[in-house]
Amino acid sequence: MSELSEAAACYLATRRALGFRLEGAGRHLEQFAAFAEAAGQDTVTTELALQWATLPASRSRAWHAQRLSAVRGFARWLHTVDPQVQVPPAGLLPGRVRRAVPYLYSEADITALIDAAGRLNPPWKATTMQTLTGLLFTTGIRLGEALSLGCGDLDPDAGLLTIRQAKFRKPRQLPLHPSAVTALAGYAARRDKLRPRPATTAFFVSTTGARLARTTAQETFRRLLHEAGIYRRAGGLRPRIHDARHTFAVTTLLGWYRDGGDVQARLPLLSTWFGHADPRHTYWYLSAAPELLALAAERLEPRPAAMS
C-alpha cells in the first residue's frame, strides 16, 4: 500500500469515527490513490486531481465535480500535516450535484417486482429478493441498512426491527406490520433450516451463504425492473432501488394529507423513522410528487366564509 493510500485510509477512518459513512467518497479516494500510484505520484496536486476527476470523459459534469470534491476534502485534511499537498480550488469543476427526481412506484409496479423476484433461479435467490424487495417498500429503510441487518435484529414477538448500521450511526427501532413480521420470520426460518451452521450472522444471505452484497442486490433489482416491464419514464425518470424509500415516504405523506391529519406535526415522526439527522431532509419529500404539492396547497388556501 502506497503512502497516499495509507493517508486516504486514515482520513476515511477518522471521518467515519465521527459518524460519516462516506461510501461513495471512500470508493473515489481508493481509486484516486491507485491512479496516483500508477502515475508515480505520492501526493495530491491540483493537476493530478483534475486529471483523475474528469475520467471518464463521457460522464456528466456533476459526476466529475463529485469526484473532485471527494479529493478536495481529503487534500484539505492532508494539507494540515503536509504543506506540499495542493488543495484544488473550490468551483474548479462547476457542476452542482442535483438530487435525482424520484421514480415513484405504483402498487401494480411493486406487485410486478415481487412476482418477478419469485421467478428467479435458484429458488433461494428468489426467496431472498422477494423478502428484501418487500422489506424496502414496506419500511422505506435504506438498502445498506437492510443488507447490514443481523440475525438478531428482528424481534418477531415484539414486532420490532432494529436498525443498527444506520447513517450517522444512530440506531433506531421500527415497529412492523404483522404481515411484514410474518414474512421476515418465515425467511429467517427457511434460512436457518437451509444453513444450520452459517458462515455469517447476516439476516440476508446469498446463494453462497455469505452476506448479500450491495452490488448483487442492485444488479438483480435492475433485472427485476426489466422482467416487470418497468422502464424509464418521460422526462428521464429512471427507476432505482433507492426509490422504494421515496415511494414509502410519499405514500405515507399522501395518506396523512387524505385523512385530514396535521402533517407538519407528524413530519418529525417520519424523520425519526427514516433516521434523518436533520428534519429538512424529510421536508424534501413534500416536493417529490405533484399530488403532494396539490394537497399541501389545498391546506394553505383560505376556506370560504360560511354563508349566512
Residues designated as active site = 142, 167, 242, 245, 276, 285
Q: What letter would DSSP give residue 121?
A: S
SS3 174: strand
Of 63, 234, 215, give the one whose Cα is nearest residue 144.
215
d(Cα 169, Cα 282) in Å, to the nearest integer? 18
For residue 122, whether the previous peptide bond is cis, meaning omega lies within 30 degrees of 0, is yes
- DSSP H/E element including 16: helix 3-17
Q: Is 7 helix (H, G, I), strand (E, B) or coil?
A: helix
Buried b (16+ CB within 10 A) or exposed e, 130-144: bbbbbbbbbbbbbbe
Best CA proximity match to 97, nearest among 140, 58, 68, 56: 68
154 and 184 Cβ atoms separated by less than 8 Å: yes
